[in-house]
Structure 1
């Protein structure tokens, strides 16, 4: 395992890279972080990915050392990028390029997964036609990208959604399915009952905010991811 510094437009970002044991070359799964920045939850997801036999690279779209610890700090980091999707997509492309450059990675076989804000991020990677075979969004945000108003998506798309997520309403779900249908994407949507936002985030327990971990939905959604990655690679 290693922390990996990389640059995009002259600015330093810090990723986290894991290689699977016993493999000289492997596909890579890049991981887009939630609104607080790359942290323990993304590292835990990277470890789970590596155990499946894939390389894992947790990206950073905020910049080295830029992390949030409060709602206000997280919003201050995330909102500018939600409002400037071209900039977000550029930083994601830089993270993907860094992942493909790591030792032992097969650069022709890449996928992206993301959580919360990272779920929006990987959907943007699909919208912008980044060179990934597929993307998987977990309790992600569905706001469309203004700079890609009518995307033509070639990557396969999987969405894992908590039905009681206050940040992605049933109306938002219908909107993203309409967008994906119009994009020509090969897409699938898995909806988890009794689940709110952050259902895969260990320790999440704020019902007032709507962010609650759900062990069953975490397990089921990760099993769906395993099948998805097997199909991609």
Structure 2
């Protein structure tokens, strides 16, 4: 769930992270790396990183399609995989850039496009896309792509899910619909009963902001209670003195320190559970 002010809504008062001209040129030429937050904050850098991904389309059992942007790690060895799920805006260069970063870290990374190529350029458009999504079709797409990643020729068979905001909720939904090995939720809707959580088989990592009025401490506390009731003990929840979408450098609620800490914790979690 997102509100009309979250998920990277406004950059007019947001200072951009500094980047030297020489470093920018080297990154754009593919000769150097930059911190993920820097790449995500600058449209040209995010676009360049996104350009290293490859669009894929996979048929679903019902006759539809599941779409995404794939990033592969260097070399030809086996690697674990991560399925990334976008915010309510739709699949954009920033999410593709995260996939590219995960590939640099040694993962097969696939950023799903649940809107089938559509993208919201305003909060109102994003809300309409989110509300128009067919949950059954979205679940089928995610299950299909998890299976595709497990069967990829370079996959170890281990797959995690990761999502932000709208995608955070769907990261959990995907993990309830099919077996995965790790679930990462960035301030996503987690309203689930113990019965809903019965099918969960993966450890869960959640990042939440204490200032978030929609994905708030009450909701997360009820989720923790439901997890305990369901006997799901492998849950780690981290709280940050931050608002919704605190990890999105393109938004006015971005918190650089908390975003960096959350990303470090996410990397550790993925390494522990996926390899």
Q: Which residue of 1 aligns with 2:108?
A: 55
Give the 3-state SS of the residue equivalent to 1:45 in structure 2: helix
- Please report how far the alpha carbon of residue 75 of structure 1 lies from its aligned counterpart in structure 2 after TM superposition: 1.3
Do the aligned partners of residues 180 and 87 (structure 1) sit closer, same or farther apart at CA in structure 2, a change above 3 Å counting? Answer: farther
Give the 3-state SS of the residue equivalent to 1:151 in structure 2: helix
Do the aligned partners of residues 99 and 73 (structure 1) sit closer, same or farther apart at CA in structure 2, a change above 3 Å counting? Answer: farther
Give the 3-state SS of the residue equivalent to 2:198 in structure 1: coil
The structure 2 residue matched to 1:88, chosen from 138, 143, 155, is: 138
| Residues 41, 202 of structure 1: 8 Å contact kept | no
| Residues 137, 160 of structure 1: 8 Å contact kept | yes
- Please report how far the alpha carbon of residue 48 of structure 1 lies from its aligned counterpart in structure 2 after TM superposition: 1.9
Over residues 119-174 of structure 1, what are the superposed CA-to-partner deviations in whole Å (9 max), with x where a residue is unaligned?
Answer: 0001112223x12101000121223379x645342111110111111221121111
The structure 2 residue matched to 1:172, chosen from 200, 212, 219, is: 219
The structure 1 residue matched to 2:173, chosen from 100, 124, 144, is: 124
Structure 1 residues 9-20: aligned runs within 5 Å: 9-20=62-73
Q: Which residue of 1 aligns with 2:59?
A: 7
| Residues 27, 109 of structure 1: 8 Å contact kept | yes
| Residues 153, 184 of structure 1: 8 Å contact kept | no
Q: Which residue of 1 aligns with 2:99?
A: 46
Between structures 1 and 2, the one with greater strand share: 1
Coordinate RMSD, CA, aligned: 2.0
The structure 2 residue matched to 1:201, chosen from 248, 263, 269, is: 248
- Please report how far the alpha carbon of residue 99 of structure 1 lies from its aligned counterpart in structure 2 after TM superposition: 3.0
| Residues 169, 190 of structure 2: 8 Å contact kept | yes
TM-score (norm 2): 0.74
Q: Which residue of 2 aligns with 1:226?
A: 267
The structure 2 residue matched to 1:110, chosen from 159, 162, 166, is: 159
- Please report how far the alpha carbon of residue 201 of structure 1 lies from its aligned counterpart in structure 2 after TM superposition: 1.3
Over residues 93-142 of structure 1, what are the superposed CA-to-partner deviations in whole Å (9 max), with x where a residue is unaligned?
Answer: 12223333444222x211111111110001112223x1210100012122
In structure 1, runs of 5+ residues without a counterpart are 206-211
Over residues 65-97 of structure 1, what are the superposed CA-to-partner deviations in whole Å (9 max), with x where a residue is unaligned?
Answer: 22211222211221244xx64443222112223
Higher relative contact order (CA 8 A, sep 6+): 2
| Residues 29, 113 of structure 1: 8 Å contact kept | yes
For residues 72 and 232 of structure 1, what CA distance do their matches in structure 2 show? 37
